[in-house]
Every structure is written in C-alpha cells, then in structure tokens.
Amino acid sequence: MADPALHPETQPLKQIAVDYTPEACAHCTNSNTITLTFDHRGGARWRTTTRFLYGTFSARIQCPAGNTSGLNFNIYLSSLEGDKSQDEIDFEFLGKDRTIVQTNYYTTGTGNRESIHQLGFDCSDGFHEYVIKWGPNEIEWQIDGKVVRREEKRGGENFPEKPMFLYASVWDASYIDEGRWAGKYVGCDAPYVCIYKDIRVPTGTAVE
C-alpha cells in the first residue's frame, strides 16, 4: 500500500529566503514564480523559510538554454545546506547534457545513491513538472506525472528523516570530478536563467 504521507495536500509557496546573491533571484508571489540568474555575479540559491517533515513538493521548471556546460540547476530538499550530516533528496540537472536529470538522496551526510534518467526532451525547451514525494518509508521522484524513481526504506538502512527545507539553485559545478560531472563552464551564452513556476509545498507538515 502506498505510504499515506506521500499524498498530503499542498499549497502554493508564499515566502522564500535567498541564501546568497539576492540580486540574482526574483520572486513574484502573485504569479508564484521564482527566477534565478547565473552570470558574472555567479548564481543564487533560494529556500523555503521553514522545514517540512514529509510531504509532496513540486514545481514547473524551465532550465537555462544555450551552452550550459559546467552549470548545475536543481530543486531539492535538505535538512541544512552545508551541514556535513544533512539529509537530502535531489533533482539535479547537469549542464553538459540537458536531456538527462540526476536523482539522489542522502542520509546523515552520506549520498552515493545517484541515478541518471533520460528526460526525452531538452529541459530548456519549456516548462515541465518535477515532483518529490517523501514519506517515512518511501520516496518518489516524478516528472510530468510519471514516476521515474521510487525508493523504499529497507530494514537496517538509514532513510531521510530530518525535517528539510525546499531549495533551488544555479551554480558552477565545473570543479567537481574535474568537469566530468556537469562539464566545464564556458559561459558564452550568459546570462543563464532558470525559471520556477507553480511551486507547491505540503500543507500541515511545516516544522518550526
């Protein structure tokens, strides 16, 4: 039976915090749209103002176009960005190839659960819906209504259980694995703009 925690009510995201380069992040609450820009200033990262313990998180995303080699654009959950013992659940787009997306999850700072998915489209061509459904015993990643990955908690294994913020960012990932992961940054088509629309977060699972 599906975990009932995966299917709670959701609500539009009303308020965000910007962790760095606020001038590169535009938030329109009326249209429920957030725009991140990567250029000579670097990128930016936004997050929810509260953590959530389980629920459904979603956004329609149009990723940057042009030569995006080296860039990482994403939407993910994390108990605290930068914490070495974080829990985390990811959708990450790798700029060297906009026809794929990587999913991953972390428990107490340990990841290494990456999976690459063929999108069947270029993620910059238009808006597509990306959904993370997270419960105490199951995680689902969905794209345009289709489940692309499902993980169930197994006996004796750690599973994300810390309250988490919803985050999104655009950043230069050229240095990771000497550019083999996301490519080497070229920047010939800057500024790069990533647009998030119809962002939704759970109702009733926010943790102060």
- pLDDT for residue 121: 98
Q: What percent of the chain has pLDDT over 70?
A: 96
For the chain, domain boundaries: 17-207
| Angstrom distance (rounded) from CA 56 to CA 49 | 16
- pLDDT for residue 81: 87
- Is residue 6 scored above 60 in pLDDT? no
Q: Give the phi and the psi of residue 22 in degrees, each rounded to 5.
A: -60, -25
In contact, 32 and 2? CB cutoff 8 Å = no
Has 92 been annotated as catalytic?
yes
| Angstrom distance (rounded) from CA 95 to CA 72 | 6
Residue 47 pLDDT level (bands cut at 50, 70, 90)? very high
- Is residue 3 helix, strand or coil? coil
Of residues 204 and 170, the one with the higher pLDDT is 170
Of 160, 106, 109, 107, residue with least CA distance to 133: 160
Per-residue pLDDT tens over the stretch 98-117: 999 999 999 988 888 999 99
Apex 170 CA angle, 65 and 76, nearest 5:
115
| Active-site residue, from 9, 23, 81, 88 | 88
DSSP 179: G
Domain 17-207, CATH among 2.60.120.200, 3.30.360.10, 2.60.40.10, 1.20.1300.10? 2.60.120.200
HSE-CB of 40 using CA atoms within 13 angstroms: 0
- pLDDT for residue 1: 42
- Is residue 149 scored above 70 in pLDDT? yes
| Active-site residue, from 9, 81, 92, 140 | 92
Has 88 been annotated as catalytic?
yes
Work out the number of other CB atoms within 10 angstroms of the CB of residue 53: 15
Of residues 65 and 109, the one with the higher pLDDT is 65
Average pLDDT over residues 43-50: 97
Work out the number of other CB atoms within 10 angstroms of the CB of residue 43: 21
| Angstrom distance (rounded) from CA 145 to CA 168 | 20
